[in-house]
Amino acid sequence: MADDLLPLLIVALSETVYMVLLSTIMALALGLPLGITLVVTSKGHISEFSGLNNVLGTVVNIFRSFPFIILIVVLLPLSRFLVGTTLGSTAAVVPLAIGSAPFLARIIENSLKEVDKGKIEAALAMGAKSITTIWKVLIPEALPSLVRGITLAVITITGFTATAGAIGAGGLGSLAIRFGYMRYRDDVLFATVIVLVIMVQLVQWGGNFIAHRLESKHHIGM
């Protein structure tokens, strides 16, 4: 093992973790309200509003039909405008967040849709406001499924960061391409793959653990 390997890996891993964390937080900030709105404005739900529902659904679909690598290129000017550069991890967060938000919105929409309408009606029949029903009933009832969905999104975003690495985002993906591929450093390529696999596994385990804890509380004996 070459002695430059470990420092390279540590720097790349920390860049990847930074990108994944920041993109996930920002994607959630966009995707959570979007997902909630997609559900509650759907037919027969808390605040049915089919016009808005159709517009948002179409926007989400348009964004989701872009291959991610194209989306990065398209969003480069926005990165330059917001971050001042198109290179580096922070610049990559802009397309990562915007690219994963619609995906996350759909995942959140699907989780929230699973909540039995009867529970929502029960809350409304007690005189609860729409917003109270969303925060105190809809989201808590969907929580285990939301956690599983967000875990999936984090893993997908990890994959996206590797793609973004191909065009200068830094991180493990970039390390694998610059050293492993272009300089024929098989040891680097191999090590990055191992680190990525471990990272994804840890996220998956963590997500499963939390979801399981929530479920076993709610669904004992079911």
Partner 1 sequence: MITITGLSKSFQTPYGKVDALKNINLEIKQGDIFGVIGFSGAGKSTLIRCLNRLEEPDSGIIRIGEHEITSLNKSQLREVRKRIGMIFQHFNLFDSKTVFGNVAFPLEVAGLSKRQIKNRVEQLLELVELTDKTNAYPAQLSGGQKQRVGIARALANNPEVLLSDEATSALDPKTTYAILELLRNINRKLNLTIVLITHEMDVLRRICNNVAVIEDGEITEMGPVQELFLNPRTDTTRLFVQSDQDLQLNNYSI
User: What residues line the site for partner 1 (CB under 8 A)?
Assistant: 116, 118-119, 121-129, 132, 136-137, 140-141, 143, 214, 217-222
CB atoms within 10 A of CB 160: 27
- The span from the CA of 107 to the CA of 144, in Å, is 13
Helix (H) or strand (E) holding 140: helix 139-165
Residue 68 Cβ vs partner 1, minimum distance, rounded to whole Å? 34
CB of 173 to partner 1, least distance (A): 38
Task: Pick the closer one to partner 1 by CB: 55 or 122.
Answer: 122
Whether the Cβ atoms of residue 190 and residue 203 lie closer than 8 Å to each other: no
Q: How far is the CB of 52 from partner 1 (least distance, A)?
A: 18
How many whole angstroms separate alpha carbon 137 and alpha carbon 121?
10
**Would you say the C-alpha torsion 110, 100, 160, 14 has a positive or negative sign?**
negative
Minimum CB separation from partner 1 for residue 134, in Å? Answer: 13
Give the nearest distance from C-beta 218 to partner 1 in angstroms: 5
Is the Cβ of residue 121 or residue 186 nearer to partner 1 in the bound state? 121
Spatial CB neighbours of 207, under 8 Å, sequence gap ≥ 6: 147, 148, 150, 151, 152, 154
Closest to partner 1 by CB, 183 vs 212, is: 212
Q: Which is nearer to partner 1, 135 or 190 (CB)?
A: 135
Q: Supply the minimum distance, in Å, between the C-beta of residue 210 and partner 1.
A: 14
Nearest approach, Cβ of residue 149 and partner 1 (Å):
16
Tell me the torsion sign for CA atoms 81, 160, 143, 205: negative
Residue (1 or 125) nearer to partner 1, CB: 125
Given the complex with partner 1, which of 139 and 166 has the nearer CB atom? 139
| CA distances for 205 relative to 14, 18, 69, 92, 214, angstroms | 20, 19, 28, 26, 14
HSE toward the beta carbon, residue 78, CA cutoff 13 A: 13
Give whichever of 39 and 96 is closer to partner 1, judged by the CB atom: 39
